[in-house]
Amino acid sequence: MLIKPNRRDILRLAAMAPAFALPAMARANLGAPAGDNPAHFRFTVGEAKITILSDGFFSMPTSGLGVNADPKEVQALLEQHYLSPTEGYSHTNHMYVELGEAKVLVDVGSGTRWLPTAGRLLANMEAAGINPDEITHVVITHAHPDHIWGLRDEFDEPILSQAEYIIGAAEHAHWMQDDLVNKVAPEEQQFVLGAVNSINAGVEWTMAEDGHEVAPGLRLIATPGHTPGHMNLVVESDGKQVMALGDSMSHAVLNFAQPGWFNGFDSDGEQTVATRKRLLDMAAADRITVLGYHFPFPGVGHVLKAGETYEFLPALWQFSE
Amino acid sequence: MLIKPNRRDILRLAAMAPAFALPAMARANLGAPAGDNPAHFRFTVGEAKITILSDGFFSMPTSGLGVNADPKEVQALLEQHYLSPTEGYSHTNHMYVELGEAKVLVDVGSGTRWLPTAGRLLANMEAAGINPDEITHVVITHAHPDHIWGLRDEFDEPILSQAEYIIGAAEHAHWMQDDLVNKVAPEEQQFVLGAVNSINAGVEWTMAEDGHEVAPGLRLIATPGHTPGHMNLVVESDGKQVMALGDSMSHAVLNFAQPGWFNGFDSDGEQTVATRKRLLDMAAADRITVLGYHFPFPGVGHVLKAGETYEFLPALWQFSE
C-alpha cells in the first residue's frame, strides 16, 4: 500500500539521517561501485574555469518526490528511467569557478554531521589540486543540511574563513527569525538548529538581493520556492552563461519530464514550480549550461524544450588535447 | 551548400586523419577542457567488475552521419541536442571485464598511428591501476583503425601478447581476403592495410562464430552491418546483462532518435539499421546495460523505448560507500 507522504513525514525520516545510507545494490541503476570513481570534472565557459566537485551522495525515500502527484505515476516514471522506484539517489555537485581575480565556491556541503556518504567536499577539492585557502567567495544557495552544515568543521570552527560568505538576505532572515525553532514541528527542529548554528559559526555574512554581483561576470539571482531565500549563481563570460541551480531543480528526470511536480522538501511547492518553469524556459531559450546540485555527477548539461515538457541533456565529458 | 557525402568521401577525409584534430572550442558543447578529466569509470554487474577505459577522443565531419537522411535534418537534430552541426565529437570507451578467472578487454584502441588525441588506452589503464599483463582475453569487435590499430606498438610488436585474441571469423575473412587492398577505392586502402597489418602483427587468432563463449558468463554475438563480421560482447552475471556495442551504435543521439539512419562508415547501411533495431529492442525489453564505444564518456547506460524511437539514458555515476 502506498501512503502519500507529507513534508512532516520526510523531515521525520531526515531526523534519522544515518539510517539513509542504503545498501549499494539498491541505490542506483548500476551495481555497487567497484572502487572509487573520480569526483571532479573540469570545463570552461568563455574565460571562466569551472570545476565540479562532489561532496558525495546520499539516498532518500522517493516518497518525498512529486508529493502533489499520484505516487504510482512518480514510481512508474522513475522505473521507466532505470531508477529505483523507492530509493532516490542524490549526488551533490558543487561549482567552483575561477574568473578574473575571483575564485568562488557554491555551497560548502554537509560536513561531518549529516550522512556518512557525504561530507567529502574538502577531500575531493584536494584531490582536484585546488587550494582551499585561495577561495575568495563562498556563495550559499540555501541553508539546508547538505548545502551549509559543512560550514562548521568538527571543532565548530568555520571552514574557508578567509573568503567572503554570501547568502540571500531573505534566506538569512528566514532561518534567523526569532525563536523559529519553537515555531516549527519537532521533526523540523533539527533543520532549523543546523541552519542557525551554521550561520552563527563565526563568518561575516554579505546579504544578497536579486542581481547581487559577487564579482565581475558572477551574479546571484533570486529563485525562491525550495526555500524562501534560495539563490542561483550565474556565470557569464564571452557571451556564454552557466548557472548553478542549487535545489531549484533537484532531479534530472522528474523536474524536466514533470516540471509541475514538487517535493516534500520544497517549502513552497507552487512557488518552486513557478521558479523552475521560469529557469527551464530561460535556459532553453538562451542555451545556458546548467548545473544541478543533485543531478547525476557531474550534473552539467543543457535544457531541451519539447512541447510542454523538457529534457536534461548531460554535457559531453571532456579530455585534454 | 550542403553536399550529400558518400562513403568514399568519408574515407578520403579519413586518409588525411591528423587534420581531424579540430580546435577544442568547436568540438563539444562545453568550452575547452581546463585540465585533464578522469579517463576511467568503474561499476559492477552481478559478480562482474567492469572498468570503462578511454582511448581518448577524435572529431570527424558530421557529413558522414545519417548519410541516408537530409543533411539539414541531421544538423538540426545535432544542434537541438547542443552538439556541433558540423563536427562530430567521438569518445572511445573500452570495456574491461573481470569475471571469475577471466580478465577481458574489448578492442585495443588506435595506438600511435591514427590521431594525436587518441591512442591513450594503455596510459589510462595504468592510471586506473590495471596490470595489462594480467589480461587473459582481447576481443576485437571489428578491424577499423580506432578499434584495432593499437594492436601494434611503435616497434611493430603486438601488445598484450600473453592474452588470447578473439575476432569474428567473418571479420577476419573479410579483411584477409586475397588482394583486398587492390579491390577497394584508393581512399579505402589505408583502412585495409591497417587492418591487415594489425591482424598480422604476430598474435594467434581465435575465430568466433555467433554465440562464442569467451569464458563463463561472457559471450560474443554476431552484429553485422557496420562491418561484415562485427561482434558484440555480452556479459551476464546474476541474471543481469551488459553489452559492449562496439560500433553497432556509434551515436548516443542519432542512433536512438533516428534508428533508421546509417553512417558513411557503415559498410552495409541497411544491415546496420536492422542490427541496431534488434539490439535496441533487446536492450529495452531485457533492461540490458549497454556501452557505446563512441558515446560520451563513460558511455554506459540504458535504452528507453518511446514509440518508434528510443532514448539513451546515461547511467548514474557512482562513488564508493
Query: Measured between alpha carbons, how far is A156 from A93 in angstroms, rounded to an integer?
Result: 24
Query: Measured between alpha carbons, how far is B165 from B203 in angstroms, rounded to an integer?
Result: 7
pLDDT on residue A32: 52
Mean pLDDT score, B68-96: 96
pLDDT band for position A22 (50/70/90)? very low
Query: Measured between alpha carbons, how far is A140 from B192 in angstroms, rounded to an integer?
Result: 58
Contact B31 A21 (CB under 8 A): no
Would you say B192 and B228 are in contact if contact means Cβ atoms under 8 Å apart? no
Give the chain A residue whose CA is nearest to the CA of B43.
A33
A319: β partners: none
**A30 and chain B: CB distance < 8 Å anywhere?**
yes
Query: Measured between alpha carbons, how far is B291 from B234 in angstroms, rounded to an integer?
Result: 10
- Sign of CA pseudo-dihedral A315, A321, B4, B10: negative
Residue B160 lies in a domain: yes
pTM, to two decimals: 0.89
Kindly give, in sequence order, each residue whose CB lies less than 8 Å from that of residue B65, ignoring residues fewer than 6 positions away: B74, B78, B88, B251, B254, B261, B263, B264
Q: Which helix (H) or strand (E) holds B185?
A: none
Mean pLDDT score, A55-59: 94
- pLDDT at position A2 over 90: no
Contact A34 B21 (CB under 8 A): no
Residue that the C-alpha cell 539499421 belongs to: B273
Distance of CA B243 to the CA centre of its chain: 12
Burial, B119: exposed, middle or buried (Cβ in 10 Å; 0-12, 13-18, 19+)? buried
- Would you tell me which residues 203-232 of chain B have a C-beta closer than 8 angstroms to some C-beta of chain A? none
Chain B residues touching residue A310 (CB < 8 angstroms): none
Mean pLDDT score, B92-111: 98
Query: Measured between alpha carbons, how far is B89 from B254 in angstroms, rounded to an integer?
Result: 13
Residue A35 lies in a domain: no
pLDDT on residue A187: 87
> What is each CA distance from A136 to A98, A109, A305, B318, in whole angstroms?
10, 17, 36, 30
Would you say B49 and B21 are in contact if contact means Cβ atoms under 8 Å apart? no
pLDDT, tens digit (0-9, with 9 covering 90-100), for B135-180: 999 999 999 999 999 999 999 999 999 999 999 999 999 999 999 9
CA distance B263 to chain A (A): 21
Chain B residues touching residue A81 (CB < 8 angstroms): 304, 313
- pLDDT at position B4 over 50: no
Task: Give, as one character, the DSSP assignment of residue B180.
Answer: G
Euclidean distance between the first and final Cα of chain A, in Å? Answer: 54
Q: CA A257, A261, A263: angle at the middle one, nearest 5?
A: 120
Give the chain A residue whose CA is nearest to the CA of B50.
A34
**B51 and chain A: CB distance < 8 Å anywhere?**
yes
- Would you tell me which residues 150-209 of chain B have a C-beta closer than 8 angstroms to some C-beta of chain A? none
pLDDT on residue B80: 96
Alpha helical stretches, state H, A111-253? 121-127, 145-148, 169-176, 189-199
The number of domains in chain A is 1
More confident residue, A82 or A31: A82
The count of CB pairs under 8 A between chains A and B is 160
Contact A45 B24 (CB under 8 A): no
pLDDT, tens digit (0-9, with 9 covering 90-100), for B262-312: 999 999 999 999 999 999 999 999 999 999 999 999 999 999 998 989 999
Least Cα distance to A293 among A132, A102, A106, A13 occurs for A106
Contact A29 B89 (CB under 8 A): no
- pLDDT at position B99 over 70: yes
Q: Are strands A164-168 and A205-208 parallel, antiparallel or unpaired?
A: parallel
Kindly give, in sequence order, each residue whose CB lies less than 8 Å from that of residue B125, ignoring residues fewer than 6 positions away: B40, B53, B96, B132
Optimal mutation site among B36, B37, B52, B294, interface A, most CBs of chain A within 10 A: B37
Residue A122 lies in a domain: yes
CA distance B248 to chain A (A): 20
Task: Give, as one character, the DSSP assignment of residue B311.
Answer: E
Residue that the C-alpha cell 575564485 belongs to: A103
Query: Measured between alpha carbons, how far is B267 from B224 in angstroms, rounded to an integer?
Result: 9
DSSP string, B239-296: TEEEEE-TTSS--TTHHHH-TT---TT-SSHHHHHHHHHHHHHHHHHHT-EEE-TTSS
pLDDT on residue B13: 46
CA distance B33 to chain A (A): 5
Would you say A98 and A49 are in contact if contact means Cβ atoms under 8 Å apart? yes
A 10 A CB-CB count for B47 gives 14
pLDDT on residue B2: 33
CA distance B32 to chain A (A): 6
Would you say B246 and B232 are in contact if contact means Cβ atoms under 8 Å apart? yes
Q: CA B193, B198, B203: angle at the middle one, nearest 5?
A: 145
Residue A142 lies in a domain: yes
What is the pLDDT of chain A when averaged over all its residues? 90
Residue A101 lies in a domain: yes
Kindly give, in sequence order, each residue whose CB lies less than 8 Å from that of residue B73, ignoring residues fewer than 6 positions away: B66
A 10 A CB-CB count for A3 gives 8
**A124 and chain B: CB distance < 8 Å anywhere?**
no
Contact A319 B37 (CB under 8 A): yes
Which CATH number characterizes residue A301's domain?
3.60.15.10
pLDDT band for position B30 (50/70/90)? low
pLDDT, tens digit (0-9, with 9 covering 90-100), for B227-254: 999 999 999 999 999 999 999 999 999 9
pLDDT, tens digit (0-9, with 9 covering 90-100), for B32-79: 554 578 899 999 999 999 999 999 999 999 999 999 999 999 999 999
Euclidean distance between the first and final Cα of chain B, in Å? Answer: 54
Burial, B308: exposed, middle or buried (Cβ in 10 Å; 0-12, 13-18, 19+)? exposed
Contact B43 A36 (CB under 8 A): no
A303: β partners: A312
Q: Which helix (H) or strand (E) holds A13?
A: helix A7-15
Would you say A141 and A275 are in contact if contact means Cβ atoms under 8 Å apart? no
Query: Measured between alpha carbons, how far is A50 from A289 in angstroms, rounded to an integer?
Result: 12
Query: Measured between alpha carbons, how far is B165 from B208 in angstroms, rounded to an integer?
Result: 10
Contact B36 A300 (CB under 8 A): no
DSSP string, B19-48: GG---GGGSSSS---SSPPP-EEEEEETTE
More confident residue, B38 or B8: B38
Mean pLDDT score, B174-198: 95
More confident residue, A6 or B25: A6
- Would you tell me which residues 262-291 of chain B have a C-beta closer than 8 angstroms to some C-beta of chain A? 287, 289
pLDDT on residue B320: 79
Residue B8 lies in a domain: no
Chain A residues touching residue B297 (CB < 8 angstroms): 316-317, 319
A43: β partners: A50
Residue A37 lies in a domain: no
A218: β partners: A215, A235
pLDDT, tens digit (0-9, with 9 covering 90-100), for A241-294: 999 999 999 999 999 999 999 999 999 999 999 999 999 999 999 999 999 999
More confident residue, A119 or A13: A119
Query: Measured between alpha carbons, how far is A11 from A19 in angstroms, rounded to an integer?
Result: 13
- Would you tell me which residues 298-317 of chain B have a C-beta closer than 8 angstroms to some C-beta of chain A? 298, 300, 302, 304, 313-317
Which contacts of A22-25 are long-range, i.e. CB under 8 A and separated by 24 or more positions? Answer: A22/A59, A22/A87, A24/B321
Residue A157 lies in a domain: yes
- As given in the structure block, the three cell numbers for residue A274 are 513557478
Give the chain B residue whose CA is nearest to the CA of A290.
B30
Q: For residue B81, give the nearest of A117, A313, A317 by CB distance.
A: A313
Mean pLDDT score, B118-126: 95
pLDDT, tens digit (0-9, with 9 covering 90-100), for A127-144: 999 999 999 999 999 999
Contact A33 B81 (CB under 8 A): no
- Structural domain boundaries enclosing B67: 44-314
- What totals of helices (H) and strands (E) does chain A contain, helices first? 8, 14
pLDDT, tens digit (0-9, with 9 covering 90-100), for B288-302: 999 999 999 999 999
Chain B residues touching residue A39 (CB < 8 angstroms): 319
Residue A156, Ramachandran bin (φ over 0: left; ψ between -120 and 50: alpha; else beta): left
